Amino acid sequence: MTAFSAADLRQMLSRLRDVMAGMGSVQERLDKLVALIAQGLKADVCSCYIMRAGEVLELFATFGLSQSAVHNTRLRVGEGLVGEIAAHARSISLADAWSHPAFVYRPETGEDFFRSLMGVPMIQAGRVMGVLAVQTRDERPFNDWAIETLETVAMVIAELTTAAHIVKREELFPAEGNALLPVRLSGVALNPGLGLGQAVMHKSHVRIGRLVSDDPAVERSRLQSALAALRRDVDALIWSSHGDSAGFSDILEVYRMFADDRGWISRIGDAIDTGLTAEAAVQKVSDDTRVRMLQMNDPVFRERLQDLDDLANRLLSILAGGGMRTELPENAILVCRTLGPTELLDYDRRKIKGLIMEEGSPTMHAVVVAKALDIPVLAQVQGALARIDAFDLLALDASAGHVFLRPSEDLQDMFTANAEVRQRQKAAYAASKDLPSITRDGVAIELQVNAGFLIDVQALHEAGAAGVGLFRTEMQFLAMPVLPDVKSQQALYRQVIDAANGKPVTFRTLDVGGDKIAASWTGGKEDNPAMGWRSVRLTLDRPSVMRQQLRAIIMASEAKPLRVMFPMIATIAEFDDSRRILDLEIEGHLKRGGVAPIGIAVGTMIEVPSLLWQLDQLLPRVDFVSIGSNDLVQFIFAADRGNTRIANRYDVLSAPVLRMLRYIAGKCQMAGKPLSLCGEMAGRPLEALALIALGYRTLSMSPAAVGPIRDLVRKTILSDAESFFQSLLNSAASSLRPEIKSFAYDHGLVRET
Q: How confident is the model over 46-88, as pLDDT tens digits?
A: 999 998 877 789 999 999 999 999 999 999 888 889 998 988 8
- DSSP of 354-375: EEEESS--TTSHHHHHHHHTT-
According to the model, what pLDDT value does residue 670 have? 97
What kind of fold does domain 183-205+325-425 have according to CATH? Glucose Oxidase; domain 1 (3.50.30)
**HSE-CB for 590 with a 13 A CA cutoff:** 9
* CB neighbourhood size of 430 (10 A): 13
Which one is predicted more confidently, 532 or 307? 532
- In this prediction, residue 248 carries a pLDDT of 60
Domains in the chain: boundaries: 6-171, 183-205+325-425, 216-319, 467-627, 629-677+679-753
Running DSSP on this structure, what letter comes out for residue 395? E
Task: Decide if pLDDT at 234 tops 80.
Answer: no
Give the distance, in angstroms, between the CA of residue 287 and the centroid of all CA atoms in the same chain: 17
Confidence class of residue 41 from pLDDT cuts 50, 70 and 90?
Answer: confident
Identical fold between 183-205+325-425 and 629-677+679-753: no
Please tell me the predicted confidence (pLDDT) of residue 483.
75
What would you measure as the largest C-alpha separation in the chain, in angstroms?
85
Count of residues making up the chain: 753
521 — pLDDT class (breaks 50, 70, 90): very low
Q: Where are the beta strands (DSSP E) in 452-504?
A: 468-472
- Ranking 71-85, 172-186, 363-377 by mean pLDDT, the lowest is 172-186
* pLDDT higher than 80, residue 413: yes
Q: Starting at the edge strand that comes first in sequence, how are the strands of the sheet with 92-94 ordered?
A: 74-76, 56-63, 45-52, 127-136, 116-124, 92-94
Closest residue by Cα to residue 335 from 387, 275, 260: 387
Residue 538, pLDDT above cutoff 70:
yes
Cα dist from 238 to 247, 373, 498, 633, whole Å: 10, 16, 21, 40
Q: Assign 134 to helix, strand or coil.
A: strand
How far the first Cα of the chain sits from its last, in Å, is: 67
For residue 602, give every residue at least 6 positions away whose Cβ sits within 8 Å of its Cβ, in sequence order, or none. 563, 564, 565, 566, 579, 582, 622, 623
**Up-side HSE of residue 601: CA atoms within 13 Å toward CB?**
16
Do 562 and 600 meet the contact criterion of CB atoms below 8 Å apart? yes
DSSP string, 121-170: EEEETTEEEEEEEEEESS-----HHHHHHHHHHHHHHHHHHHHTTSS-HH
Distance of CA 317 to the CA centre of its chain: 24
Q: Which of 405, 383, 399, 386 is nearest to 333 (CA)?
A: 405
What phi, psi does 181 have (nearest 5°)? -95, 155
What CATH code would you report for 6-171? 3.30.450.40
Model pLDDT for residues 465-503, shown as the tens digit of each residue: 999 999 988 877 766 656 788 998 999 899 999 999 999
Over residues 243-247, mean pLDDT: 49
Hey, which residues does 402 pair with through a beta bridge?
Answer: 186, 397
Cα dihedral 222→225→229→231 (10° resolution): 110
Residue 326 has a pLDDT of 61
Contact partners, residue 94, CB within 8 Å, separation at least 6: 81, 100, 116, 117, 118
Select, from the ranges 20-29, 167-176, 349-358, the one with the highest average predicted confidence (pLDDT). 349-358
Given a contact cutoff of 8 angstroms between Cβ atoms, the answer to whether 341 and 310 are in contact is yes
The DSSP annotation for 261-306 comes to -HHHHHHHHHHHHTTB-HHHHHHHHHHHHHHHHHTSS-HHHHTHHH
- Asked whether the beta carbons of 578 and 620 are under 8 A apart, the reply is no
Query: What is the per-residue pLDDT across 639-654, written as a single tens digit (0 to 9) for each?
Result: 876 665 676 678 899 9
DSSP alpha helix (H) spans, 505-571 = 514-517, 535-541, 543-556
Q: Per residue in 555-609, pLDDT tens?
A: 999 999 999 999 999 999 999 999 999 999 999 999 999 999 999 999 999 999 9
Supply the pLDDT for residue 448: 96
User: Which amino acid, one-letter code, is at 507?
Assistant: F
State how far the Cα of 317 lies from the Cα of 311, in Å rounded to an integer: 10
Q: Spelled out in words, what is the top-level CATH class assigned to the domain 629-677+679-753?
A: alpha beta
Residue among 432, 422, 492, 505 at smallest CA distance from 462: 432
User: Is the sign of the CA dihedral 473, 479, 485, 486 positive or negative?
Assistant: negative
Question: How does strand 393-397 pair with strand 194-201?
Answer: antiparallel
Amino acid identity at 424: R
More confident residue, 526 or 235: 235
Question: Topology of 467-627 in CATH?
Answer: TIM Barrel (3.20.20)
Confidence at residue 167, expressed as pLDDT on a 0 to 100 scale: 64
The answer, yes or no, to whether residue 134 has pLDDT greater than 80, is: yes
| DSSP, res 445 | -
Tell me if 160 sits within 8 A of 109, measured CB to CB.
no
Q: Which CATH architecture has domain 216-319?
A: Orthogonal Bundle (1.10)
Return the SS3 of 10: helix
